[in-house]
Structure 1
Amino acid sequence: MSISRLLYVTEDIDRKPIPASAFVLLPYNKPDPNKPLNTLVWTHGTAGWGRKCAPSNHKDLYYEWQGPYALATAGYAVIAPDYAGQGSDIPQGFMYEAGFLHAADVAYGLIAARQVIGELLSKEYVVVGHSEGGMTAWRTNERLALPGQENLLKAGKFIGSVANSPALRPLDLIPESIRRANGGPIGDAVSVFFLQSLAGLFPGQFKVEDYVTDTVLARIPLVNQGCLLSGRALFAGLTADQLFKDLSWLKHPLVVDWQKRYNGAGPHALAAPLLVVQGIEDPLTYANNTEWDFNQTCSHFPDSRATLLLYPGADHNVAAQVPQLDYLKWIADRFAGVKVSKGCEIREVETVTTRYRNVGAFYSGAGGG
């Protein structure tokens, strides 16, 4: 494989230009020497807060074999945006979970890559991502179906997206995490990233210190020196009462409007086929929430071409890997021109045995001796 990094221009909520970063991962050789590489845009999950946490800065590109490595070794060109503000400096800071805007990062990142290696990239492309990136893959499919997206459509012929364990609606997921914790530790670090993002978007109107405890405030400077794993170490063991002194922010008009405009919560029509893959035991992006959103899309837009695959026993990290067999075949079918029938399907995957390993495994690259 070979890697390149790039800076490019995307857009903010007012469609004004802002900088973003990305990496491009290419396979060793072409599956067909006479054709360009089939092209994927990989959208990553929660990495942390700020530039240092951008996957393009990570020695294993953050998701390693759970994402970009597996896709590139399967013969695909992989374009991977960091999202605006994650790998670049912008006035409002990283806009966490802003799916409507991440969709612009997807399109403009691919457009930028085409300026340099366009002869290597297929006109057609698929978006695939996990967690925050699963949400981004879904939101891209929705945004490209909306009117007024001519600039984004210049990215090429969008032929589908894979939304793995999508973190679709923070204002639903966070209260559900509190309910399930039942007074115990929530296992939550993402709320702290989210609250900081909201404060950056709405300066003077939304203040983190109004809603979190002194314990959290004291630890924020520490978490901002690290990334997601630091956040989990600092916050995952706290209860709701230890995290928040006031939960009214979940119903704050600015935040409710944020979920509609910045996150892009629908339901909305789809521009192309959608495959959703979801672990049933996911403790972060809950299967019932994902299924509810899927059913909302299908009930409002019954001609949608959408499939939801549910994976027994799989949690959030395990689900980053176990669906690869299914979604790589689905992606290959899209590039092969296999048609997807109108309508929606929900199916539970049948495991070979009940003795599978159900622990997320992470790869850390090191030079050979």
Structure 2
Amino acid sequence: MTSAQSSNSNFPETDFNLLEDSEDADNHNSAATATRLSLQFQLDESYLGLRIDQAAAMVWSEFSREKLKQWLKEGHLLVNGQVVKPKYKCEGNEILSLDVELEVQTGAEPENIPLNIVYEDNDILVINKPVGMIVHPGAGNPNGTLVNALLYHYPKSAELSRAGLVHRIDKDTSGLLVVAKNLEAQFSLSKQLAKKSVYRVYDLITYGNIIAGGTIDEPIKRHPVDRVKMAILPGGRDAVTHYNVKERFQNFTRVQAQLETGRTHQIRVHFSYIGFPLIGDPVYVSRVKVPAGASETLASTLRAFKRQALHASKLGLVHPRSGEEMTFEAPWPEDFTALLDVLRSENKAY
């Protein structure tokens, strides 16, 4: 179920001015066409003493510092209307002006991969990602990703960093993702994520009996030895997960978790840390745990479930153009539903 309304009103007060050409960017046969970008920002005393390239990277975080340094040197990024060197030290009252034509930001190739689109307008795209789809191309996975699919569906996304993606979910986690279709929307959504105002709810099934809901507030960083894993470690980035018990079984629990932050593997790491790892998690569970006395149906179902039992079921955000609060929902995928059906019949609570 989706609750959403679109609006053709202008973006709320902003320093952005996008001048797009008139080609039909929604036609997947058209080439990615250039977007002229004019941005302006008034610095304040909080930027005092910073290098100008550092300050610009804080203001416009969707661009890399190296890209902003390049634009400074080429005269596309001006300070009080003047060309300055990247090492210029801010006085804390300058006006930054960026006037540039965006070029293609990704080397990924468009691919005609079907997308399960929950909602789309001129500014955002909400997708229900299937299990097994990688979000970003990477070493060993240059094709078949969500980015490849986005580049085909909407070619102008090539002009945006990460093709307009502002957050991601793991390959074998299913569910909702929002994608920006222009830079203004990308900045707005990134700011909402930074302010922790994007509403993200996940359904998951864990081993063990969780008695009641609560909050897990533990820092997460890369595991010092196993680089595939994340871990709860001092000095990690803040990570907060709120959760409620939704359904209890003899040996398992269905939980709904709301993310306050969005760290890599956050839910998987947090629930493993408190002793309730996710069914099927290939990284944080060393082996399939079959309860003593389990039926053959339950045992075979658990062994056959090869991915973490995790689904991004709800997503809430403020539309970057209209300012409207929007909520989206995605139903459980078939494998998640089938697992629950078996637990309800073969592992009912006493």
TM-score range, shorter chain: under 0.3
TM-score, normalised by the number of residues in structure 2: 0.26
Higher Cα radius of gyration? 2
TM-score, normalised by the number of residues in structure 1: 0.25
Give the structure with the larger helix fraction: 1
Give the structure with the larger strand fraction: 2
